[in-house]
Amino acid sequence: MYATENDIEIKSRTQSKKVWKFSEILEDPHVKARWEKVRKYFFLRESTYDMTTRCNIRCEGCYYYEGEKQYSVDNRNPEAWRKLIRAEKERGITYVVLAGAEPSMVPQLCEACFQEIPLGAIATNGLKQIPESIGYKIHISVWGNDETSRRIRGAENMLNRQMDNYKGDPRAVFVYTFTRENIDEAQEVVQFLDKHGCKTTFNIFSTPTGYDGKLRHTENSLLHTRSTMTALMKKYPDSVWYSHYNVVAHTHRFSLHDLYSCSYPRMNVSKGIGLGRSFRQYRSDLTWNRDASCCVPDTDCSDCRHYAAGSAVVTARMFRHAANPRTFKAWLDYVDTYLAVWVVGYDKGKNLCDEPVAPPGF
Ligand code: SF4
Ligand code: SF4
């Protein structure tokens, strides 16, 4: 059995009574080295872009095909995209996430983006290879074994097809999304990916607004996911990119917004600072709407545990975590994992924390 939130919280409280100065926390040379390593990337400023409304499959529970964005009219002109991304660079964006629906359908547009801003990631189902000339991280979505993918995503032989396209590709990270239904299958899938030398990270199915289907998590399925993730992290320390704090943050009974208060414009009431000011989520017609802008629009905020959301929501909360060595190490592991998953050329370090730590205040 894995520790419940109550167990983790009690331990964290008893260990965090002293008031720590930041300089004292940095006296540990491992902490100092990791801090120096991650802070070099604080210049990253992201925005996300729906590259097309088209996708070559249809998955149950896809947030892209919820809400209005799916009805926008695709702009297929690479020059228009180039102009947009150049303007994005001018307003301070240094990192792009190319997503919904399926970016591999429009490689020429992805190429235009890469030529203007060379740091970024593409979220893909992995069924169509994205040209090697596009040097972004490639996040390949995995929703279970082949039988589950056939049922939920309507795609046959998915893992082998993804593998044919991305085995040995240093850009590739396989993102296993835990739903309520596929928790035990993660063992066989991660073993398969490890055997083929692939890197895996984890995601939690976060329900689109209005979805009440069988993929939605319960408190029990979150605890089951928690123990499975932890076992896989221990079994495959080199090929699974995750940390104990990632596990706690993403399988907590409270959503990421409840735990950390989401800073994307869609939920950020201040709207004047940080992500609330800089982040935009563009639709495939190159328009954007502040009130809908977050990395996973049309996801239910009260159920949001999405890995893409956590990257910005948790990493943005450095000061809260710098309260004592334990929470700061946990936060450093989270940021180190985030950078390894999202930034080409960043190497994941060994996790500093070898046990779960409660989010500050919980
Ligand atoms: S592959 Fe992605 S965009 Fe396409 S239907 Fe599935 S979840 Fe939606
Ligand atoms: S869905 Fe998640 S990332 Fe988007 S606004 Fe809500 S809490 Fe933030």
CA of 259 to the centre of ligand 2 (A): 12
Query: What letter represents residue 29's amino acid?
Result: P
Nearest CA to ligand 1 atom 7: 62
Query: Which two structure tokens, joined as six digits, stand for 242?
Result: 């995750």
Q: Which of 310, 309, 335, 331 is nearest to 321 (CA)?
A: 331
- Half-sphere exposure in the Cβ direction for 164 (13 Å, CA): 7
Q: Please give the class, per CATH, of domain 7-342.
A: alpha beta
In contact, 301 and 255? CB cutoff 8 Å: yes
Point out the ligand 1 atom lying closest to the alpha carbon of residue 102.
Answer: 3
DSSP bridge pairs for 122: 98, 138
Point out the ligand 2 atom lying closest to the alpha carbon of residue 300.
Answer: 1
Helices in 1-57 by DSSP H: which ranges?
5-14, 22-25, 29-39
Ramachandran category for residue 157: left, alpha or beta (phi over 0 → left; psi -120 to 50 → alpha): left
Residues with C-beta less than 6 Å from any ligand 2 atom: 256-257, 262, 264, 266-267, 294-296, 299, 301, 304, 309
How far apart, in whole angstroms, are the C-alpha atoms of residue 13 and residue 358? Answer: 9
Considering every ligand atom shown, identify the ligand nearest to the alpha carbon of residue 55 and give its number: 1
In contact, 72 and 287? CB cutoff 8 Å: yes
Three-class SS of residue 6? Answer: helix
CB neighbours of residue 72 within 10 Å: 16
Phi/psi for 92 (5° steps) reads 105, 0
Considering every ligand atom shown, identify the ligand nearest to the alpha carbon of residue 139 and give its number: 1
Query: Which two structure tokens, joined as six digits, stand for 238?
Result: 């080199």
CA of 85 to the centre of ligand 1 (A): 24
CA of 254 to the centre of ligand 2 (A): 13
Point out the ligand 2 atom lying closest to the alpha carbon of residue 262.
Answer: 8
Point out the ligand 2 atom lying closest to the alpha carbon of residue 301.
Answer: 6
Considering every ligand atom shown, identify the ligand nearest to the alpha carbon of residue 162 and give its number: 1
CA of 328 to the centre of ligand 2 (A): 24
DSSP bridge pairs for 173: 139
Nearest CA to ligand 1 atom 8: 62
Query: What letter represents residue 130's amino acid?
Result: I
Residues with C-beta less than 6 Å from any ligand 1 atom: 55, 57-59, 62, 64, 100-102, 125, 153
Helices in the chain by DSSP H: which ranges?
5-14, 22-25, 29-39, 78-90, 107-116, 146-153, 158-166, 186-195, 219-235, 244-251, 256-260, 274-278, 307-315, 318-321, 325-342
Query: What letter represents residue 22's amino acid?
Result: F
Point out the ligand 2 atom lying closest to the alpha carbon of residue 294.
Answer: 4
Per-residue pLDDT, 11: 61
Nearest CA to ligand 2 atom 8: 262
Tokens 């040995």 belong to: 168
CA of 21 to the centre of ligand 2 (A): 32
Query: Which two structure tokens, joined as six digits, stand for 85?
Result: 């991304």
Query: Which two structure tokens, joined as six digits, stand for 311?
Result: 């990257």
**Max Cα distance, the chain (Å):** 58
Phi/psi for 204 (5° steps) reads -115, 130
Pocket test for ligand 1, best of 52, 57, 60, 175 (most atoms within 8 A of CB): 57
Point out the ligand 2 atom lying closest to the alpha carbon of residue 304.
Answer: 2
CA of 58 to the centre of ligand 1 (A): 6
Domain ranges of the chain: 7-342
CB neighbours of residue 87 within 10 Å: 11
Distances (CA, A) of 183 to 58, 222, 227: 21, 9, 10
* pLDDT, tens only, 270-294: 655 677 778 999 999 999 988 778 8
Query: Which two structure tokens, joined as six digits, stand for 227?
Result: 């123990």
Q: Which of 132, 186, 122, 123 is nearest to 159 (CA)?
A: 186
Residue ranges, the chain, pLDDT below 50: none
How far apart, in whole angstroms, are the C-alpha atoms of residue 264 and residue 248? Answer: 21
CA of 231 to the centre of ligand 1 (A): 28
Point out the ligand 1 atom lying closest to the alpha carbon of residue 123.
Answer: 2
Q: Enumerate long-range contacts of 151-158, CB under 8 Å, 24 or more apart.
A: 152/59, 152/60, 152/61, 152/179, 152/181, 152/215, 153/57, 153/58, 153/59, 153/60, 153/125, 154/57, 154/58, 154/59, 155/57, 155/125, 155/127, 158/125, 158/126, 158/127
